[in-house]
Amino acid sequence: MVNQDRLVKSFCNLVATASVSGREGAMRDLLIQAMLERGLKATEDAAAEIVNGESGNLLVQVPGNTPGKKLLLAAHMDTVEPGEGIRAVIENGIIRSQGDTILGADDKAAIAAIIEALDVMRENRLAHADLEILFTVGEEQGLKGAKAFDFSGLQAEAGYVLDAGGDPGCIVIQSPCQNEIEYEVYGRAAHAGINPEEGINAIHLAAKALSAMPSGRIDHETTCNFGLISGGKARNIVAEYCHIKGEARSLSRPKLDELTERLTRTFCEEVEKQGGRAKTAVTLLYPEISLKPDDDVVRLAASAARSIGLQPRLIKTGGGSDASIIHGAGIPCVNLGVGMQKVHTCQEFIKVSDLTTVTRLILAIIQQAIEKQPDASGN
Ligand SMILES: [Zn+2]
């Protein structure tokens, strides 16, 4: 039923339309038009202003023609750089860029598959329940679009983000929660050669504090990192100030909370012990997904995969995605493998067969969501 030529053409057209994060205006216009041609209305929210970009998120409501579980399908419109002037090259069943840009299969493979699924549904008059489709902006900048989206108006009972790196059939059921942690040390400036004893060196204090803190892998599901450090004004001035930015993540919220508390407490204690003053700030970047194989949202995707001959693979990941935000907003949500490979590099590619398979998977998920009618034999 999937029209592979049409699907590939549509994918190539999507990647040729540049949509680097913050500059998704042309992609928004393309999608509004694509939906219009299919009798659907894509509504833009007010996120553009919040994320400081050209476009907001797009929501498309597809009314069902039969009862069943209401689903949300989601993909992101934006790409990383270099993402201008992308031209897809197809060779031996593989689609790549010309080598000087990314391809943008992340996440336009998902967008192309969703559009093709809509066409197949319409052409074959397939039965389906209500569908909500969300195209987000600013995903690559830290899930900015999804964070700015108001999920309270949605009806969906299960969400499927199509933005994972594995093959179609991969279902990400666990992903971490993450805190950004900022550490600041305030010391006292003095001349480094004339009166250093009157100073308190903020860099030295930060170093002492950090050496007393854990770093890297904490356990099989918990990590932390110090990623940025800056401070001081000149070689010959005792540094008055030092700033460190780090993170902590875990698949378990209690473990994240405990680790964050331990990090910030140790930092403050160590700095104050040495006569400095410390300040810390914690921001939850995204919440965890912790689903089990028998949760509805997982079971539905797994049986959809099996129904088209795929072996479902339930996996966990170390990073967040739009699925983290959707799940956190109360719609049970998994992230599905799309088959995109070497993403965020100029070697990014996707197999034509995976584009087709992920479209069939979307159709199978929509099919699985239809309410099963009790059969006439009374079984
Ligand atoms: Zn992505």
Boundary (domain end) residue, out of 235, 251, 286? 286
150-161 average pLDDT score: 98
Structure tokens at 308: 């088209």
Question: How do residues 45-74 score in pLDDT, each as one tens digit?
Answer: 999 999 999 999 999 999 999 999 999 999
Cα of 91 from ligand 1 centre, angstroms: 23
Which of the 8 DSSP states describes residue 373?
P
Q: Decide: helix, strand or coil at residue 156.
A: coil
Q: What is the dihedral of CA 266, 269, 271, 273, to 10 degrees?
A: -140
The single residue listed with the structure tokens 């009806």 is: 155
Cα of 206 from ligand 1 centre, angstroms: 36
Q: Where residue 76 falls among pLDDT bands split at 50, 70, 90?
A: very high
Choose among 99, 59, 92, 58: nearest CA to 78.
58
Cα of 236 from ligand 1 centre, angstroms: 46
In Å, what is the CA distance from 109 to each residue of 175, 219, 331?
22, 35, 23
Cα of 110 from ligand 1 centre, angstroms: 9
Asked whether residue 39 falls in the same domain as residue 130, the answer is yes
Could you tell me the CATH number of the domain that includes residue 120?
A: 3.40.630.10
Cα of 81 from ligand 1 centre, angstroms: 13
The single residue listed with the structure tokens 């998977």 is: 361
Cα of 325 from ligand 1 centre, angstroms: 14
- 343 within some domain: yes
Whether residue 323 contacts residue 333, with contact meaning beta carbons closer than 8 Å, is answered with: yes
Cα of 19 from ligand 1 centre, angstroms: 13
- 128 within some domain: yes
Q: What is d(CA 122, CA 3) in angstroms, rounded to the nearest whole number?
A: 13
Could you tell me the CATH number of the domain that includes residue 186?
A: 3.30.70.360
Q: What is the pLDDT of residue 374?
A: 60
Cα of 157 from ligand 1 centre, angstroms: 23
Asked whether residue 82 falls in the same domain as residue 227, the answer is no
Q: Decide: helix, strand or coil at residue 188.
A: strand
Boundary (domain end) residue, out of 286, 308, 336? 286
Q: Where residue 170 falls among pLDDT bands split at 50, 70, 90?
A: very high
Question: How do residues 229-274 score in pLDDT, each as one tens digit?
Answer: 999 999 999 999 999 999 999 999 999 999 999 999 999 999 999 9
Cα of 72 from ligand 1 centre, angstroms: 17
Choose among 140, 127, 206: nearest CA to 343.
140
Question: How do residues 98-145 score in pLDDT, each as one tens digit?
Answer: 999 999 999 999 999 999 999 999 999 999 999 999 999 999 999 999
Choose among 167, 63, 160: nearest CA to 118.
63
Asked whether residue 265 falls in the same domain as residue 282, the answer is yes
The single residue listed with the structure tokens 């996996």 is: 315
Asked whether residue 194 falls in the same domain as residue 58, the answer is no
Phi and psi for 53 in degrees, rounded to 5? -130, 180
Question: How do residues 83-99 score in pLDDT, each as one tens digit?
Answer: 999 999 999 999 999 99
Asked whether residue 276 falls in the same domain as residue 339, the answer is no
Amino acid at 376: A
Boundary (domain end) residue, out of 236, 269, 286? 286
Cα of 252 from ligand 1 centre, angstroms: 23
Q: What is d(CA 287, CA 276) in angstroms, rounded to the nearest whole number?
A: 33
Region class of 376: left (phi > 0), else alpha (psi between -120 and 50), else beta: alpha
Q: What is the dihedral of CA 112, 354, 76, 135, to 10 degrees?
A: 40
Asked whether residue 130 falls in the same domain as residue 27, the answer is yes
Choose among 119, 95, 146: nearest CA to 326.
146
Question: How do residues 12-43 score in pLDDT, each as one tens digit?
Answer: 999 999 999 999 999 999 999 999 999 999 99
Q: Which domain holds residue 74?
A: 4-175+288-368
Cα of 111 from ligand 1 centre, angstroms: 11
Asked whether residue 93 falls in the same domain as residue 198, the answer is no
Residue 296 parent element (H or E):
helix 296-307
| Residues annotated catalytic, as ranges | 78, 139
Cα of 146 from ligand 1 centre, angstroms: 12
Q: What is d(CA 242, CA 68) in angstroms, rounded to the nearest whole number?
A: 56
Q: What is d(CA 310, CA 285) in angstroms, rounded to the nearest whole number?
A: 33
As a whole-number percent, the residues of the chain with pLDDT over 70 amount to 98
Choose among 129, 133, 225, 121: nearest CA to 179.
225
Asked whether residue 362 falls in the same domain as residue 297, the answer is yes
Q: What is the pLDDT of residue 371?
A: 83
Q: Domain count for the chain, please give it.
A: 2
